[in-house]
Amino acid sequence: MFTAFDNFPALLIWLPLLGALPAFLLRKEGAAGRWALASSLVTFTVTVASLFFQGEKHYALTQVSYVWLPDFGSSFTLTLDGISWILCLLNAVSFPVILGSTLGTCRDRQHVFFGLMLMAQAGLNGVFLSADALGFYFFWELALIPVYFLASLWGGERRVQAAFKFFIYTFAGSVLMLAGILWMHMRTTDQSFSLASFYRTSLDPVEQAWLFWAFFLAFAIKMPVFPFHTWQPDAYEQSDTAVTMVLSGVMVKMGVFALIRWLLPLFPDALKRFDEIAILLCIAGMLYASCIAMVQDDLKRMVAYSSIAHVGLMAAAVFTVQQEAWHGVLVQMFNHGVNIIGLWVVVSLIESQLGVRKISQLGGLAQKAPSLAVLLTVIALANIALPLTNAFVGEFLMFNGLYRHNPWYAAAAGLSIILSAVYMLNMIRNVFLGGTNDLTDGFREVSFRHRAILALLVVVILAAGVHPEPMFRLVEDTSDLILKRVQSR
Amino acid sequence: MNTSQMLFWFLTALSILSALMMVTSRNPVHSVLWLILVFFSISGHYILMNAQFLAVVNMIVYAGAIMVLFLFVIMLMNTKADAEPRHANRMRLAGTLAGGSLLLVLVAALRETELRGISLEGPEGDIGLVARLGSILFTEYVVPFELSSVLFLSAMVGAVIIGRKN
Amino acid sequence: MPINHYLFLSLALFSIGVAGVLARRNALIVFMCIELMLNAVNLLLVAFSRMHNAAAVALDPASTVGAEAQILVFFIMVVAAAEVTVGLAIIVMMYRNIHSVDINFLNRLKH
Amino acid sequence: MSRLIYLVPLLPLAGFLLNGLGRKRLSKTAVSVIGVGTVLAAFGISLSIFFETLSPGFAPQTVRIADFIDTGRVKIPFSLLVDRLSVLFLLVITGVGSLIHLYSTAYMHEESEPDFARYFAYLNLFVFSMLVLVLGSGFVTMFIGWEGVGLCSYLLIGFWFRNPAYNDAAKKAFVMNRIGDLGFLMAVFWMLSRFGTAEFAGVFEKAPEATAAVLTGITLLLFVGATGKSAQIPLFTWLPDAMAGPTPVSALIHAATMVTAGIYMIARSHVLFDLAPVTQTVVAVTGLATALLAASIALRQNDIKKVLAYSTVSQLGYMFLGLGVGAYTGAVFHVMTHAFFKALLFLGAGSVIHAMHHEQDIRRMGGLAKRMPVTHATFLLACLAIAGLPPFSGFFSKDEILMAALAKHPAYYAFGMLGALMTAFYMFRLYALTFRGAFRGTAEQSAHLHESPWAMTLPLAVLAVLSVAGGWLGIPEVILPGAHRLGDYLAPVLSGEDGEGMAVAHLDHATEWILMGTSTAIILSVVAFAWSRFSRQVPSDAPAGGGLSGLLERKWLVDELYDAIVSRPLRALSRFLSGVVERYIIDGLVNGVGRSVQYGARQLRLLQSGQVGSYLLIMVFCMVLFFIVQMFWKP
Amino acid sequence: MNAILLSALWGVVMMFTGLASPHARLHGRMAVVGMALLVVAAWLDLAGISPFGITGGGMLSYGPYESVFIILMAGCALLYLLLSVHVMADGGTGTSDPLALIFFVMTGICIIAGFRSLLMLFLGIEIVSIPLYILSASDKRNLRSNEAALKYFLMGAFSTGVMLMGVTLLYGTHGSFYLEALNIGEEALSPLATAGIVLLLVSMAFKVSAAPFHFWTPDVYDGTPTVFTSFMATIVKGAAFFAFLRLFQDGFGRLHEHWRLLMAFLTAATLIIGNVTAVFQQSVKRMLAYSSIAQAGFMMLALFALNQTARTGIVLYAVSYSLATIGVFAVLARMKDHSFEAFNGMAGRQPLLALLLTVFLLSLAGIPLTAGFFAKYQMIAATLEEGRMVWLAILALLCAVVGVYYYFRVIQAMYFRTGGDAQPEVSKGTRAVLVVTALAVLALGIHPDWLLRFLSY
């Protein structure tokens, strides 16, 4: 029976989507932005509220299904379980922050910008909530389109090419996934696209092998995992920072999420054959990206490479199929989103004031903007997983899982802990500390709004770092359920 | 070898020879004339096979109307001598090669058909006669017959469109 | 006459037509070669018509089996006539514009 | 009182928050009160807990505050372990800490108000982290403090962030610590997967079941962590650089407390180390090597703080030597005494630097004894203590370690003794150059030279008392049987059923007396030599020449070596990856796919020649091909 | 049958309208009315109401599947006319004649949609082709139009010859033109019949512009006046595919195994050549010509798979492809410059038009929520259902990625680049029709069930 809770999943998609339409029409200066912020806050409220309507369900696999394409064996099925909830929450938290931080930025065609942003949010929520493969694919693409436009319309000089590369690359991955989805669909006993039917379907090893790689490629490009990552630095660098926040804060989580929700439970036998390759790719990517991050002079590229390293760890941890590693991954998805958005906010504040992102041209900002420096430091420390910040919890569990899988992997991956400290502190040293120069002399403390947003993020970082338990309670049951499925085959 | 066989071989030789001449003639007018000869020889074959109606139509429509139209156009353009440049030999070679290999492949493929032993000597029906064919055309095949008028209408409109002065 | 003779004759004429289409550059002659191909088809159709008819008539003298092939030949002629009208119109139009009927003379549209 | 244990770390945390958030509004007085008050209050509570632990019925207790991580097979609570070892450290940390806080109120008074508040916030945060480190009931909780102190060290070394060199030093400290932390973490993961827990109680209970290889591995990894934090070979180079921070910071963090975290950790997990003799040897050898290396470098340093820094590294090496030979009490004892005299030395140096207007080169000092009597007196006492002369505290603790080392292997003792001699030499070289002879600074410095205010001298005095008397807590059995109060106090924690002093027990008393006597005599002569020589002769300003002394002055070129074998190759590799692999290979492949499509497009379009003839020709050829495939090719 | 009669009759009506009145507007209106009536007539066929009661002697048959297809094609043609009659009127020549030809083409389409006999197929295809030769030649002074017409005509006539030879050879084996008579299974596998099938395959591949028989397509589509290209590339091509599928399913379906390999080759070649060559193009019109080849490659998958999904899917494909392409061409026909650069900055000047174009292009690229996605989906699904040569599906998908490249070039030009001067004059009415077309594209993208259910009666 439908209860009040059952409508929440659909609501989480419709709210931002319906919010997007008026935003396109609000041409008045600033109006669209305020509307979008309000809309995203409503979504946030509803997302949080949905937690309290869970009742007896305990975030276990609850599905709500609407008729859509019965002839295709597809329905509009949504599931709000632990893992989708935490990602929807990330989405709900991120967008007010992103929109709030970008509100006053000078930008032409604001109404389009904010409309597309909300559309992207709807698409992302759809990806996280879909329990139907076709719906999942739909949202997978639909999240991409608005972001493609956002990334092409606003940003650096080479944005069109960069965004296009991003689009084509991810599209290429996702068509392979589509082939895999269709194949799975054929193999289901009831010719259905539903997640449940997919889970029930058994495949022979050869099928599993190629399907595994088809799906993996799609997700690997999205995350991105080495060596499929080259779209990312370009896209991050060239996009408007608000868009980069969406990309790095929420969108890359699509890939990790999909590994857990789709790839591993569907092809457990293939996983047994290929997990080492996948993990090694991820770890190689972590070290590789960390090394490159060390020598980047562009703030955005540096953060981009650091993101590759972090996401690589998450992906590696997923492939270990260790219980607590998965919990760590799920929690870390949220935490990484918060942290990296925080970093981008700071980057965008610097760029908007000085028009420069080159680390070598900056310096001494801490003198001019002490509050900003403090907030950034906390966020940066969270990014390198200092204990009592949010990322520590996740990384600890992930490394733990990796260690249980193979100690040497953990040791190799652990080197990135050191490297991450190197590039993060380098960045702080060269941008915030030291003396000012001609350029940075004119830097002013950032506005109260931005400080408040960053402070909010810092509070989240610390709260989640000191008391991560509620998040574990949220994801545990679902995660263990899926894990059991992966292991039992 | 009876008369009809002799006729067959004669007409066959004639048609192939004329066809080759048609293709190789440098003068378009000669080509037209050779083609008319092909049509005549084919009509001869029709008669051999008791398809009298088609033999007649072939002569009237093809040899009579269509080829005259061709001649007319050639005259209109006044291109007696072939304007084809000499250096088209490569294309000619390729064309001949392609046509030859097509023939080769087809013949090789169809050498061993189930029809191999079947001879056309046999009781002759009357379907090739005007009356019989006409009645079939206007009963069973009246729909396509009527529809073929659309073709002529189109051709007419086409002539109007293309021929009209702007 | 074995049917195969007609088959091969027809194929020979057809192939000569094809070769002509390929080898010649005068639009009119190319067109004539196409007509030759059509006639090769016609000849074969009539031969098959005769073949099937002969088999059927042996059982039923009033049979109309095989007539449809001759009907098709008739339609082919109809179509050929229509095609000739349009085709010649196009060729004449082309001649009017460029004073040539060389098919390779027009090659603005490529790549 | 031990129920209030959580207040001990929380008070400094509260101080951190108050000072940190209110740094723009609070006056310096308020900041000082908060900063010093919270630590002092924590000291008070610690003291009361300490007295509680003295009672015979005291049993170690674990105070569980909350769950930190409890998911899957990983269960990590936030809980604090109150036993004699942790309480001892509490006392040292909060005690020395409050003294240094007090000292800082004067020392840092020149800073602007926000910076002043920031300084105290950092300092309080450090105390909090350090307390978490020692109170944590498991390796993860300890790791939280472990990284926390690293962070504070980073923040405080780079406190004057306008100076790029300081920032580099801060970064170096953090990164080197991180390298060690990775080892620590790996050990934690190993324990978690092997024992299912990282709580001390659980681990120690299950440790005997594990194989020697596992234990050796875990302990070695833990030791890697310790080398980072406690500045041992190979990760010691950050500590001398860390002197970039304000001097009280050097005293508190880089001498008295944080750097001893490694010793605390190993002492805490001595159960594991006892079961891993290979690791013990590694620890001892590393400690000894570090002690000698650092001491030798200190011989030729001219920066007052650098000398003290290398001295710290060297003393830490001694402590590791003690740990390696199983003299855990000795090591902890030395931690304590070292905290007193080294803090005193740093604070004294701070006082000097303060008076000299941030001049740190001892070649520009001299003759300060008269101008700064309190500083001079306390500094001298500290020097005597560190040199290991009886009856000063350093003598007892160092002696305990050396005796245990002798029992293990004579070589340990011999080299240890060599180090002690060097210590005595460079300390009195330092003392003589600073306080003896004639003043060599500028006239301006001379004019302003004065004794420091009470807030600075009071801590000096207190620490001087402790430096002198601190050693009396652990008087060896030879001198006064049953007077090793510290040993008795720590016995329940540090020694199992065997009883303390198993190493010492092997030596007969006569040998001990002889060794003590000779060593004291030699040290005395070295002291006298250094004193007399450097009261008159001042090292030249000329840069170091070649040979051994040049090598020493350039610190054995260790930094350069690391630069050559780690930093530069890594940087070159990164540049190569970023500039070549990323751009041309990986991205090149991706773009290559696109380019090959475009190339294909350019080639394929040529088929579209625009000529009907060729179109038809291709068609016919393909038709022929189809026929061949269809009619003749039987797959 | 209603549809055939009405379209043929209305063609004549259009001819006389041209005689009666020189007003192009009137011609346009008449044509629109006629096409609307054609939709209704086809609907009556579907409902079984056939006032004239003519049967084709079994040579034609119209089930719901065929009728729905005719309705859809007539519907597309209606949209096409609504979008194009103005442009034709502006062309200068009287519009009645081209419009009459379009109706004649519709007659041919109705025939080839319902043929049961090869004779009818031949006749239908000729009725479709001959008017198209004329339409492509309709811009008489333009050498490009001349060239297109000549190429189209010569190659078309050639392929007619090939097709007739195929029909003849099949007749030789079976003694009948009826599809039922041909489709008798393995015993029909004589060399003669096989040769016939190959020849028919070649000629049909030519008609649907499958590589390597596609060479006429880019040149003809490029040279033909844009309004007519739109018609040729969409509705006609869809119908040709419909006939192609009908022939090979109902005629040679039982011999599927024996010609599958050739079909796979054709499919792969078409996909690759169409998509890859389109990448290079500098003119949007020519790009669309190659895109039509690329899309044909996708439709070829239906012929490769030849199952129920393919059967319904090809209709969906034809409709969605037609709608989107008609939409793009409608804008293109109103522009002087057909290069990509001409579209630069169009989003700023004509936001609605740019948005609509984007919808169409996304559909062509096969992005979800547009009809194009489900069209491609059906094709891939059909291929996978077939279970063999899965690589073909993967190839198709990768080609779809290449497709994104060139379709998005237009989107990029419109939204992300500045300059350009394209100011297509689009009336309010046309805009409205374009909106309707776009909505149809979206509706099919969200609920293709609506259409597919009709087809699976």
Same domain as D440, residue D312? yes
Pairwise CA distance, residues D581 & E249, whole Å: 53
Task: Tell me the nearest-neighbour CA distance from B103 into chain E, angstroms.
Answer: 12
Q: How many CB atoms lie within 10 A of CB A48?
A: 13
CB E245 within 8 A of CB E316: no
Pairwise CA distance, residues D72 & B72, whole Å: 95
pLDDT tens-digit series, residues E292-301: 999 999 999 9
Would you state the pLDDT for residue A11?
Answer: 86
For chain C, the structural domain boundaries read 3-98
Contacts of D470 (CB under 8 A, 6+ apart): D336, D337, D340, D341, D393
Judge residue C14's burial from the number of C-beta atoms within 10 Å of its C-beta, 0-12 exposed, 13-18 middle, 19 or more buried: buried
In A53-109, alpha helices (H): 82-102
E436 close to D (CB below 8 A): no
Chain D nearest-CA residue for B111: D631
Cβ distance of B45 and C81 shorter than 8 Å: no
CB D428 within 8 A of CB D302: no
B99 close to D (CB below 8 A): yes
Last residue of a domain, one of D495, D530, D553: D553
pLDDT tens-digit series, residues E375-403: 999 999 999 988 888 889 999 999 999 99
Q: Which chains touch B (3 or more CB pairs under 8 A)?
A: C, D, E
Contacts of D225 (CB under 8 A, 6+ apart): D146, D180, D181, D183, D184, D185, D187, D262, D265
Mean pLDDT of B80-101: 74
Amino acid present at C66: G
Contact residues on chain D for E259, CB-CB shorter than 8 A:
630
DSSP state of D300: T
Mean pLDDT of E423-429: 84
Return the half-sphere exposure (C-beta side, CA atoms, 13 A cut-off) of residue D419. 31
Last residue of a domain, one of B55, B82, B109: B82
For chain E, the structural domain boundaries read 2-455
Same domain as D145, residue D77? no
Chain C / chain D CB contacts < 8 angstroms: 26
Would you state the pLDDT for residue D499?
Answer: 42
Would you state the pLDDT for residue A58?
Answer: 54
Touch between chain C and chain B (3+ CB pairs, < 8 Å)? Answer: yes
Dihedral-angle region of residue E350 (phi above 0 means left; psi in -120 to 50 means alpha; beta otherwise): beta
Q: How many CB atoms lie within 10 A of CB E159?
A: 24
Cβ distance of E123 and B153 shorter than 8 Å: no
Reference D25, options D34, D36, D37; nearest CA is D34
Cβ distance of A149 and E415 shorter than 8 Å: yes
Cβ distance of E279 and D622 shorter than 8 Å: no
Contact residues on chain C for E164, CB-CB shorter than 8 A:
38, 41, 76
Q: Which chains touch A (3 or more CB pairs under 8 A)?
A: D, E
- For residue D180, give both structure tokens: 């060690």
Same domain as D143, residue D132? no
Task: Tell me which residue has tokens 């070769």.
Answer: C19
Return the sign of the alpha-carbon dihedral for residues E234, E239, E244, E249. Answer: positive
Reference A183, options E257, E445, E397, E448; nearest CA is E397
Contact residues on chain E for A186, CB-CB shorter than 8 A:
381, 384-385, 387
D620 close to C (CB below 8 A): yes
Of E143, E164, E219, the CB nearest to C98: E143
Pairwise CA distance, residues E387 & E380, whole Å: 11
pLDDT tens-digit series, residues E72-89: 999 999 999 999 888 887
Same domain as D88, residue D221? no
| Mean pLDDT, all residues of chain E | 90
In A1-81, alpha helices (H): 8-25, 31-52
Of D114, D158, D587, the CB nearest to A370: D114
Reference A123, options A90, A147, A151; nearest CA is A147
Number of domains in chain B: 2
Reference A247, options A308, A292, A168; nearest CA is A308
Last residue of a domain, one of D85, D112, D137: D137
Chain C / chain E CB contacts < 8 angstroms: 122
Chain C nearest-CA residue for D614: C22
Of A70, A138, A185, the CB nearest to E369: A138
Instruction: Report yes or no on B114 lying in a domain.
Output: no
Of B113, B140, B157, the CB nearest to E134: B157
Strand D74-82 relative to strand D61-71, pairing = antiparallel
CB D250 within 8 A of CB D346: yes
CB E99 within 8 A of CB E43: no
Amino acid present at E393: A
For chain A, the structural domain boundaries read 5-488
Burial B135-165 (b: 16+ CB within 10 A, else e): ebbeebbebbbebbebbebbbbbbebbbeee
Task: Tell me which residue has tokens 């909300």.
Answer: A118
Chosen for mutation from A83, A372, A393, A403 (greatest number of chain D CBs closer than 10 Å) is A403
Contact residues on chain B for C75, CB-CB shorter than 8 A:
144, 148
The CA R_g of chain D, rounded to the nearest whole Å, is: 30
User: The domain containing residue B25 runs over which residues?
Assistant: 1-82
Cβ distance of D620 and B91 shorter than 8 Å: no
Would you state the pLDDT for residue D498?
Answer: 44
Query: Phi/psi at A357 (nearest 5 deg)?
Result: -120, 0
Mean pLDDT of E110-116: 92
Cβ distance of A178 and E380 shorter than 8 Å: yes
pLDDT tens-digit series, residues D393-427: 888 888 888 888 888 888 998 999 999 999 999 99
Last residue of a domain, one of D91, D108, D137: D137
Reference E392, options E290, E291, E292, E263; nearest CA is E263
pLDDT tens-digit series, residues D502-559: 444 556 778 888 888 888 899 999 999 988 888 887 777 666 666 777 777 788 888 8
pLDDT at residue D356 above 50? Answer: yes
Return the half-sphere exposure (C-beta side, CA atoms, 13 A cut-off) of residue D223. 30
What stretches in chain C show pLDDT beneath 70?
none
pLDDT at residue D295 above 50? Answer: yes
3-class secondary-structure state, position D482: coil
Contact residues on chain A for E380, CB-CB shorter than 8 A:
178-179, 182
The three-state (H, E, C) secondary structure of D352-370, written as one string:
HHHHCCCCCEHHHCCCHHH
What is the band of B2 on the pLDDT scale with cuts at 50, 70, 90?
A: confident
CB C51 within 8 A of CB B118: yes
Chain D / chain E CB contacts < 8 angstroms: 74
Would you state the pLDDT for residue A52?
Answer: 78
C83 close to E (CB below 8 A): yes
The three-state (H, E, C) secondary structure of D31-56, written as one string:
HHHHHHHHHHHHHHHHHHHHHHHHCC
Cβ distance of D612 and C111 shorter than 8 Å: no
Judge residue A473's burial from the number of C-beta atoms within 10 Å of its C-beta, 0-12 exposed, 13-18 middle, 19 or more buried: middle
Same domain as D107, residue D86? yes
pLDDT at residue D335 above 80? Answer: yes
Contacts of E79 (CB under 8 A, 6+ apart): E323, E326, E433, E436, E437, E440
Same domain as D241, residue D201? yes
Chosen for mutation from E165, E203, E204, E279 (greatest number of chain D CBs closer than 10 Å) is E279
pLDDT at residue E172 above 70? Answer: yes
Cβ distance of A294 and D574 shorter than 8 Å: yes
What is the band of E164 on the pLDDT scale with cuts at 50, 70, 90?
A: very high
The three-state (H, E, C) secondary structure of E417-447, written as one string:
CCCCCCCCCCCHHHHHHHHHHHHHHHHHHHC
Beta strands in E113-217 (DSSP E): none
Query: Phi/psi at E339 (nearest 5 deg)?
Result: -75, 165
Pairwise CA distance, residues E330 & E81, whole Å: 10
Mean pLDDT of D1-27: 86
C22 close to D (CB below 8 A): yes
CB B82 within 8 A of CB B27: yes
Reference B39, options B61, B54, B59, B57; nearest CA is B59
CB C22 within 8 A of CB B88: no
Cβ distance of B150 and E57 shorter than 8 Å: no
| Mean pLDDT, all residues of chain D | 87
Q: Which residue has the higher pLDDT, D354 or E202?
A: E202
Cβ distance of E97 and B157 shorter than 8 Å: yes
Of E134, E140, E160, the CB nearest to C86: E134
CB A340 within 8 A of CB A307: yes
CB C1 within 8 A of CB B119: yes
Reference E77, options E104, E114, E111, E106; nearest CA is E106
Dihedral-angle region of residue E175 (phi above 0 means left; psi in -120 to 50 means alpha; beta otherwise): left
Q: Which class would CATH give C3-98?
A: mainly alpha
Contacts of D174 (CB under 8 A, 6+ apart): A421, A425, D150, D151, D153, D154
Task: Tell me which residue has tokens 């080479």.
Answer: A158
DSSP state of A447: P
What pairs with residue D74 in β-bridges? D71
Chain C nearest-CA residue for E166: C41
Output the DSSP codes for D495-535. --TT-S-TTGGGS-HHHHHHHHHHHHHHHHHHHHHHHHHHH
Cis peptide before A227 (omega within 30 of 0): yes
Mean pLDDT of B151-164: 87
Contact residues on chain D for A294, CB-CB shorter than 8 A:
570-571, 574
C73 close to E (CB below 8 A): no
Touch between chain C and chain E (3+ CB pairs, < 8 Å)? Answer: yes
Cis peptide before E212 (omega within 30 of 0): yes
What stretches in chain A show pLDDT beneath 70?
1-5, 54-62, 489
Instruction: Report yes or no on B109 lying in a domain.
Output: no
